[in-house]
Amino acid sequence: MKPFFLCLSMVLLAFFTQAQNFHLNVYAGFSNYQGELQDKRLSLSQAHVAGGLGFSYDIASHFSIRTGVTISKLSGDDKGGRNKARNLNFASKLTEANVGLEYFITAPVEEHSLTPYLFAGVAMYHYDPYTFDSTGAKCFLKPLSTEGEGFVVGRSNYKLTQFALPVGAGVKLSLSDNVNVGLEVGYRKLFTDYLDDVSATYVDGAQLLTNRGAKALELSYRGDELKNGNMNYPPSGQKRGSPQAKDAYFFSMLTLSFRLGGGGLGAMEYRCPGNVL
């Protein structure tokens, strides 16, 4: 029986060693958004600090499962852009939880000085767009239904917690068998055009006033706040946004990863003695 228990002990030890293929990942960088209040599809002009924490697990030499939480902020402003006469702006806190799969082009990571990789997955994020009115008061935009969401036929209220599809690429620099640093850029495909509370067309001003009040009318169009701006509220049906193109956001992050336990895939190999049974 001694060979049997020795073999069993080795198998359990090997399993435990494999279980040490967990990594603690720390992220720090910035976020930005794409939408109606940003002229360029890719721009860092309205970037915000972002940070996150997560874990990953090596399931094979080229593949790893990852999960994490990221906290940041998004914002956009018509000021200085092609739609400056509209004079809209927004900001929102952003919290995202994600899970995905990494593919390492060169592997194992610890055996290469530089390892490029790709990743994709699914995420759930929460946002809540707001702005400041002409008096400086903070106003959350969703309850105002600035485009008639909830009372105009065909315009439903948007949800503040939604799913996204993260995709991206990065590169890791191995400092040791257990520590690496890297750079990562990740794009989030969204399924809403109301990340910035702007999407389609202006609704009838009188209808908006009746259903959501004077503050909704005030913040739906803000060109009248500009010097020499158009003082008249736009007619119903005039273009306010571009519903054909959904909003998006992306992260550009520095990464720091620590292997937990110091083990590695294939780090130990065991052979059971013959004639165990």
Q: Which stretches of the chain drop beneath a pLDDT of 70?
A: 1-20, 262-277
Exposure string of 199-236, with b = 16+ CB inside 10 Å and e = fewer, is bbbbbebeebbebbeeebbbbbbbbeeeeeeeeebbee
What pLDDT sits at residue 14? 47
- Does residue 108 have a cis bond before it (omega within 30 degrees)? yes
Between CA 175 and CA 186, with CA 181 as vertex, the angle to 5 degrees is 155
- Check residue 44 and give its pLDDT: 75
Chain-centre distance for alpha carbon 178: 27
Q: Does domain 23-260 have CATH number 2.40.160.20?
A: yes
pTM: 0.85
> Which run of H or of E encompasses 201?
none
